[in-house]
Chains A and B, each alone.
Chain A
Amino acid sequence: MKVLAREGHLLIVGAGLAGYHTARGARLNGHTGPITILGAENRPAYDRPALSKAYLTGAVSESDLALDDPDQPLDVRWVAGLHVAGLSEHPLGVLTSDGEFWAADAVVIATGAAARTLPETNPGDAAGRPYVLRTMDDALALRDICLEGLEVAVLGGGFLALEAAATCTQRGASSVIVAAGEEFPGARRLSLPVGQALRAAHEAHGVGFASSARAVSVTSTAAGHTVHLGDGSAVAADIVICACGAAPATSWLAGSALRLSPTGAVLCDDFGATSIPGVWAAGDCSEWQSQSKGLRPVGHWQEAVEQAAVVAAGITGAEPQPMQEPYFWSDQYDLMLQGAGAIASADEVRIISGSVTTGDLLVSYLREGTEIGILGFNRLREVKRWRKQHQRKKAAVLAA
């Protein structure tokens, strides 16, 4: 693994969470050379989780979501509104769409992911396109609509979809229907009780659920949208929000020598090193070895933060912190849902306490009888304790 000279130029492509934390980590590890961060959006780097929640309700502003601390800004050159066009191995660097070449001693690819959309049919005078929720501009477009009296359809059954449904309900939509692609949202990934608890919480706030078939396409006319589901049923709506996942934003790497996954993710080892020496990748644009094996989740905020720290360590020759147990959270209405551990590999789920209707469900995930994960609704203390205790165990194992 090639370590970057302390005075070398670190070029980070992508001004999101992974890009910011890579730069921060490199500085913490003593990198003194220039750091440049190229961002496609015309905004200072920001944190995305609130885009489907507090930013969408107007409770927080753009400056509240800034990643960089105005009181202690990183010593970094931020370049906003610039699109990358290609990666060069010799000489090492990146070409941008304005024709400029950015030479570097190390390149970190952190371009994130782009919202997936469904096939759309738009006869003339259509009622606008479906909305997505990935960037601040996406959220701003949705925030600018007065939802009162409007029927909203949310496509997708993940946390983004559910958070958007909760927010639209709170903002006065006359109806919100979720096409979650399963009867109980999240049940496939997180177990039936969790799906039941999520559905119960949304139904208690008046949110409806379409059939369990996945949404497959959207037809838009001047009168509104029709969402078509895989079982032939349909949902009519004034506003459609497509929260059907994201795809790595790596089309600019087509034609490079980088190894990509079938979905376009930059393939990395578990230190973030790509198939090209001096080129690293972190966050949603990448797929690390343990993610390819299904051992770690993809697309979580926490993964991006920790991967960035590992990459920063690798680049600067510092000792990387071991990755923690996977972790995610979501807030919907008055529920804070948190999950931790290798939930995807569980073969058994037990309800430890609480119930699916009382907003206090706590479940344990087991594999071959050993607890490997936890998930709680408004169980902040229990989930944090579980995470810290597992982190300690891991540290003890590594030290032994």
Chain B
Amino acid sequence: MVMLVRWAVTSTDMSLKVCSIDDLRPGEGLRIDSINPPIAVFLTEDGEVYAIDDTCTHQDASLSAGWVEDCRVECPLHESTFSLVTGQVDQPPAKKGVRTHQVHVSGGAVYVELSTAAPNLPPGVIVA
């Protein structure tokens, strides 16, 4: 899988091309490691594409490996779920939500406009 990160020439000039739509599987997340901190791109069963920060805010776990249902992803380690739309968390052990990133799909490619907010990384995890 090729995940080129570059300033893409698209309708939004701050977008990054992160993957191809064909790299995504319905109901699953794809971790984009080339972005720091990594983000996760999700394709829902309804065909919508979302991007959020990949790291659970409670502990270092990749949300891309989580369970996607009703436009939320449940952390693969515990039971906190995050809204793919707003990033908000529903219950402990996580206390903080994740950032969401604007997505648009064009010509089979997925472009992401990264949030400029500070990420809510879990304790002990720092941006390398």
Contacts and interface: CB of A to CB of B under 8 A. Distances in A.
Interface of A: 21, 24, 47, 54, 59-61, 64, 67, 69, 71-72, 305, 329, 336, 338, 380-381, 383-385, 388
B95 A71 contact: yes
B123 A388 contact: no
B30 to A, nearest CB: 11
A380 B123 contact: no
B23 to A, nearest CB: 15
Nearest to B79: A305
Contacts of A71: 95
Contact of A67 (B28, B74, B92): B92
Given A61-B123, A384-B76, 8 more contacts: A21-B92, A69-B92, A338-B76, A381-B65, A381-B66, A381-B76, A384-B67, A388-B74
A64 B95 CA distance: 11
Interface of B: 28, 61-62, 65-67, 69, 74, 76-77, 79, 92-93, 95, 123-124
A64 B124 contact: yes
B contact face: mostly helix, strand, loop, or mixed = loop
Contacts of B67: 384-385, 388
A329 B123 contact: no
B61 A47 contact: no
Contact of A338 (B77, B79, B124): B77
A47 B76 contact: no
A384 B123 CA distance: 23
A60 B77 contact: no
A60 B61 CA distance: 15
B79 to A, nearest CB: 8
A381 B28 CA distance: 9
A60 B65 contact: no
Given A380-B62, A380-B65, A388-B67, A54 B93 contact: no
